[in-house]
Amino acid sequence: MIAHRIWSRLTQTEMGDIIGVSFQQYQKMEKCVNRIYAEDLQRICEEKKWDITMMYADSDAMLDEWMQRDYPNNRAIPREYEQVKEMWKKSEISADKYYKRRTEKLYNVMTNREE
């Protein structure tokens, strides 16, 4: 969701409005403090006409595909690319922290496996 939101230049408030939550609640979903319901994820994808399977795709490959699509001959990396990468780093750390609090296990969100 982070990548889609940033790449599409949407705010957390706009994303929260789609599913009827405040930007603070949506922000907690991005930080993995709160989980997002499947129905809410589906609603966002339908509203924004995003392919829901992209939510489960290899994040780096997806970002590279977007770069080639939107900036085919650009040698400079767009700001959105750097923002997405930075947000992913932060959300991975946050997800690990909150998952461990709930389960007493480490969870790698990038490989989708417990460690």
pLDDT in tens, 1-40: 888 888 888 999 999 999 999 999 999 888 878 888 999 9
SS3 content of the chain, % helix, strand, coil (to 5): 65, 5, 30
Closest listed residue to residue 55, CA positions, set 115, 112, 103, 94:
112
Amino acid of residue 58: D
43 pLDDT band, cuts 50/70/90, is very high
Which DSSP symbol is given to 105? S
The values of phi and psi at residue 114, to 5°, are -75, 150
User: Could you name the CATH architecture of 2-114?
Assistant: Orthogonal Bundle (1.10)
Amino acid of residue 43: R
Contact 48, 8 (CB under 8 A): yes
72 pLDDT band, cuts 50/70/90, is confident
- Where would I find the H helices in 1-115? 2-7, 12-19, 23-30, 38-48, 59-70, 79-103
